[in-house]
Amino acid sequence: MFKIIRAEFIAPGIKRFVIEALRIARKHKPGQFIILRLYEQGERIPLTIERADPQAGTINLVVQSAGKTTHLLNLLEAGDSILDVVGPLGRPSEIEKFGTVVVVGGGVGTAMAYPTTAALKRAGNRVISILGARSKALIILEREMGEVSDSLLITTDDGSYAEKGLVTDKLHQLMESGTRIDLVLAVGPVPMMKAVADVTRKEHIRTIVSLNPIMIDGTGMCGGCRVLVDNKSEFACVDGPEFDAHRINFDVLIQRNAMYREAERKSMAEFQQEPNRQLGIVRRELQQLGALNGVRR
């Protein structure tokens, strides 16, 4: 069981958790993620590690309510526990001095991009970050990203903050202004990553994306997270999650991510009827296990 030390909403529907996970905190490197299961009947889902504190033995997760599991998770508070957290998973980001790096963070993807951005900055790169979201309220980690970027550009779809438009508009502008770009890192919704890949492909700018397909074990055992890379199957959990964007078949990724849409809708509808009852089940189960664990572990 993994104790939640702190939990706070940082944007509507987006919550940051500080979780006690000693082993993961010690080993986390930028670009890696965890898989969690909330309770005995829960599914296993991959989530972003926003940062780790090896001294305190904690990791931060940034979670956007999307389906039943994330909605349920975002009802949990400090003092609650999560049944299973495993990680850090995936290959760490490649960190070296590339020159000028553009980091594109879309929505909650910014949380995954943040530790890699910080590491790229520390490695001596000139970092230009572009954050985008639907509206002002959904721009996250603006201050943190600003601290590790040489310049920070922001776009919102509705124009409620900074510049109205898409992250790719900004990227275009940068490229057209003659800025030499050695590497682009894009983390966000799949259509955004696909659009970024399309923009940089023409100029042959090396572009890395961090993929988040449906996963179960996260150790390379099930192959559910396979993505088409140069038309061959690779596993996001062990071969990724970062891949060369120009080799990824994004349409297949979008198609595979929709595989359980019907079941997800059903789960969600059932959850929304009585969210507090579901929360009660999770809390009761974990309390019972907590009592047991004192004896067993």
Q: Interface residues with other proteins (CB under 8 A)?
A: 23-24, 27, 32, 37, 41-44, 68-69, 83-89, 216-224, 226, 228, 232-233, 235, 238, 249, 252, 255-256, 258-260, 262-264, 266-267, 270, 296
Nearer to other proteins, 148 or 237 (CB): 237
Smallest distance from the beta carbon of 156 to other proteins, in angstroms?
31
Smallest distance from the beta carbon of 219 to other proteins, in angstroms?
5
Nearer to other proteins, 176 or 262 (CB): 262
Nearer to other proteins, 51 or 126 (CB): 51
Smallest distance from the beta carbon of 28 to other proteins, in angstroms?
10
Smallest distance from the beta carbon of 254 to other proteins, in angstroms?
9
The Cα-based distances of 152 to 207, 210, 211, 239 in angstroms read 19, 20, 23, 30
Question: 218: left (phi > 0), else alpha (psi -120 to 50), else beta?
Answer: left
Which three-class secondary structure state does DSSP give residue 184?
Answer: strand
Measured CA to CA, the distance from residue 281 to residue 72 in angstroms comes to 11
Token pair 């890395």 is at which residue?
208
Nearer to other proteins, 36 or 133 (CB): 36
Nearer to other proteins, 35 or 153 (CB): 35
Smallest distance from the beta carbon of 17 to other proteins, in angstroms?
17
Token pair listed for 297: 């572990």
Nearer to other proteins, 148 or 245 (CB): 245
Kind of pairing between the strands at 81-82 and 58-64: unpaired
Nearer to other proteins, 88 or 105 (CB): 88
Contacts of 286 (CB under 8 A, 6+ apart): 1, 39, 80, 81, 82, 83
Contact assessment for residue 189 and residue 166, using Cβ atoms and an 8 Å cutoff: no
* CB-count burial class (<10 Å; 0-12, 13-18, 19+) for 5: middle
Which three-class secondary structure state does DSSP give residue 156?
Answer: strand
Smallest distance from the beta carbon of 5 to other proteins, in angstroms?
18
Contact assessment for residue 128 and residue 158, using Cβ atoms and an 8 Å cutoff: no
Smallest distance from the beta carbon of 68 to other proteins, in angstroms?
6
CB-CB neighbours of 219 under 10 Å? 13
